[in-house]
Amino acid sequence: MRSLAYLDAGSGSLIVQAVVGGVAGVAVAAKLYWRRLTSRFRKQPSKQD
Amino acid sequence: MVAPPPVPATFTTAPDSPPRADPGSFRDPANRVFHADGQVFRGLGPQAAEDWRALAGAEFFGRLLADGKICGTETADPETLSANPVGQWATVLRHERIPFVSYPYEWSFAMLRDAALLHLEILRTAVPAGFTTKDGSAYNLQWRGAEPVFIDIGSFEPARDGEPWAGYRQFCQTLLYPLLLQAHLGLDFQPWLRSRIDGIEAGELRKLFGGTRRFRAGVLKHVHLHDAIQSRYAAASTGTVRAELKDAGFSRELVLATLGALRKLVGRLDWQPPASHWSGYRETCTYSDADREAKERFVAEALAEGDRSRLVLDLGANDGTYSRLAAGYADYVVAVESDPAVVDQLYRRLRADGERRVLPLVMDLADPSPGGGWRGVERGSFAARAEADVVLALAVVHHLAIGRNVPLPEVVDWLVGLLTTAGAGGRLVVEFVHPDDPMAARLLANKPAGLFPDYRREEFERLLGQRCTIVRRLELPSGTRTLYLGTPRDLGTPRG
């Protein structure tokens, strides 16, 4: 396994590149947001266990 | 692999010197640049050495090397290296020596833009071949005259599929944002980069691009959106986000699309100073033809004497006439000028001519680049880098002595001090503008009468004579300017 890059690439800076990349990228960004959103709802019941 | 261009062994200022780690090369622990025997080496750790082997075998890399877009690099034979910090590295590379190291805060707008375009071009060539760069810094680039060159070989690594470019933020902060600042707002970017080693933050720049300014090319996405997403994801680790992006379908094609969009944006950015800048400027350049001819002849003769120069510093280079002249007699010329618009125009002309021996730099001589970064040495001060064997100081002394109140003895000390390492071959070509010259008179008119009693030709000549042997002097036909050729005396000589 390779070691991680030495530079902090910045989480926001990684995500914004999807939007910069055009239509296909916006789709990736939308998918990412959707998954984050739905995972929040999915996680909630497990927390109450 | 295509053979790299030969690694020139010029500028071997310190033969047999012990290996010295470069103070500007510590951020990536996987490799380190060091200097030994007047040459430049790069030590690679085990992972970096493996990456280098893959890179050296890649067709794209050989092509970029052959085109001169990446600095000449070859694997060094460990047997030929003297005592080893070398021993701690798996592999050692030998690099082409860059004639004069400069920094982005000393470049003009078009220089920074061409540097950014080269960085993107290299990346756009590397990505389809399965490589990327770990970072995206303006400090990855240097110059051979007016030709940018990518120097950070340690930055290349095999790309991991599904990951965005790790260097994008750094590219924005040190290249794109300074360009936006100048192209859209007309603000000189140099002071911003000089005072911030990591460049301009998105949040900082966003404040300057409020209202309708946010709709200027590139601003909405790369500045506003970038800053907003940065704030929103401040707590998310990059590891998690990388994994999520990969799951969501981020691909190599998307990396290329992002790079393509950046390339298009940077290529469109331009800056021209307002027309009033030039009309004000021309009035200040008043030489008669006879003066100009005599001056050019004097300078050419001074340069032609003695050994060929390695480095000429042209201080107050203006339109670069004398820098170009000097390039005929020297390996390399650094043309220093304080007006960013003048440097920008000079650079564009040199670039169009394919000039590789004249490096134009933006710098105020009364406020030259200090050391910067960690311990103030990560970026070298101008004083530490300026080891010339010829100094041209034409029409510049009055600007320092009258315009900036620098005591005349200090001006002369400073000029001669730039030749400290030149030894007996050092030459100073300096022009003294008499107080009754229209240009000097204009500067004097802005200061209280009697403020500069020492600003006289006799006094300048006395001061110069204490520090230099005056080989020749020439009063220009107008009678208000005198040129001197001096060779420094032993610096131990007491001065008055």
Nearest to B221 among A8, A19, A31 (CB): A19
Three-state DSSP class for B373? Answer: coil
For residue range B306-342, what is the model confidence (pLDDT) as tens digits?
889 999 999 999 999 999 999 999 999 999 999 999 9
Residues 173-232 of B with CB under 8 A from A: 221-222, 225-232
Mean of the per-residue pLDDT values of chain B: 91
User: Residue B5 — pLDDT band, cuts 50, 70, 90?
Assistant: very low
Q: Does ipTM top 0.95?
A: no
Measured CA to CA, the distance from residue B360 to residue B106 in angstroms comes to: 9
Nearest to B124 by CA among B267, B28, B244: B267
Q: Give residue B211's region: left, alpha or beta (phi > 0; psi -120 to 50).
A: left
Contact B230 A31 (CB under 8 A): no
Clarify whether residues B313 and B407 are in a common domain.
yes
Give me the DSSP letters along B387-434: --SEEEE-S-HHIIIIIS---HHHHHHHHHHTTGGGGGG-EEEEEEE-
Give the strand pairing for B390-393 and B309-315: parallel
Question: Which residues touch B152 (CB under 8 Å, ≥6 apart)?
Answer: B133, B135, B137, B139, B140
Mean pLDDT calculated for residue range B169-184: 98
Clarify whether residues B213 and B303 are in a common domain.
no
Contact A10 B27 (CB under 8 A): no
Clarify whether residues B259 and B283 are in a common domain.
no
User: Residue A44 — pLDDT band, cuts 50, 70, 90?
Assistant: low
Clarify whether residues B173 and B206 are in a common domain.
yes
User: Residue B423 — pLDDT band, cuts 50, 70, 90?
Assistant: confident
The CB density around residue B488, as the number of other CB atoms within 10 Å, is 23
Is there a domain that residue B435 lies in? yes
Mean pLDDT calculated for residue range B1-9: 43
Clarify whether residues B348 and B477 are in a common domain.
yes
Predicted pLDDT of residue B265: 98
Chain B hits for A32, CB-CB cut-off 8 Å, are 244-245, 248
Mean pLDDT calculated for residue range B187-199: 97
Structural domain containing residue B227? 143-268
Clarify whether residues B288 and B259 are in a common domain.
no
- Smallest CA–CA separation between A39 and chain B, in Å? 12
For residue range B355-411, what is the model confidence (pLDDT) as tens digits?
999 999 999 999 999 999 999 999 999 999 999 999 999 999 999 999 999 999 999
- Smallest CA–CA separation between B136 and chain A, in Å? 10
User: Would you say B205 and B177 are in contact if contact means Cβ atoms under 8 Å apart?
Assistant: yes
Indicate if the pLDDT at residue B13 is higher than 50: no
Q: Which amino acid is at B9?
A: A
Indicate if the pLDDT at residue A31 is higher than 60: yes
Predicted pLDDT of residue A48: 46
Chain A hits for B251, CB-CB cut-off 8 Å, are 24
> How many angstroms separate the first and last alpha carbons of chain A?
35
Measured CA to CA, the distance from residue B413 to residue B482 in angstroms comes to: 19
Clarify whether residues B212 and B300 are in a common domain.
no
Question: Which residues touch B410 (CB under 8 Å, ≥6 apart)?
Answer: none
Q: Give CA torsion, residues B475, B480, B484, B488, to 10 deg.
A: 150
Residue at which a domain ends, from B268, B303, B337: B268
Predicted pLDDT of residue B86: 57
- Smallest CA–CA separation between A46 and chain B, in Å? 20
The CATH number that applies at residue B327 is 3.40.50.150
Q: Which amino acid is at B227?
A: D
Q: Which amino acid is at A47?
A: K
Residue at which a domain ends, from B268, B301, B331: B268
Chain A touched by B32 (CB under 8 Å) = no
Chain A hits for B221, CB-CB cut-off 8 Å, are 16, 19-20
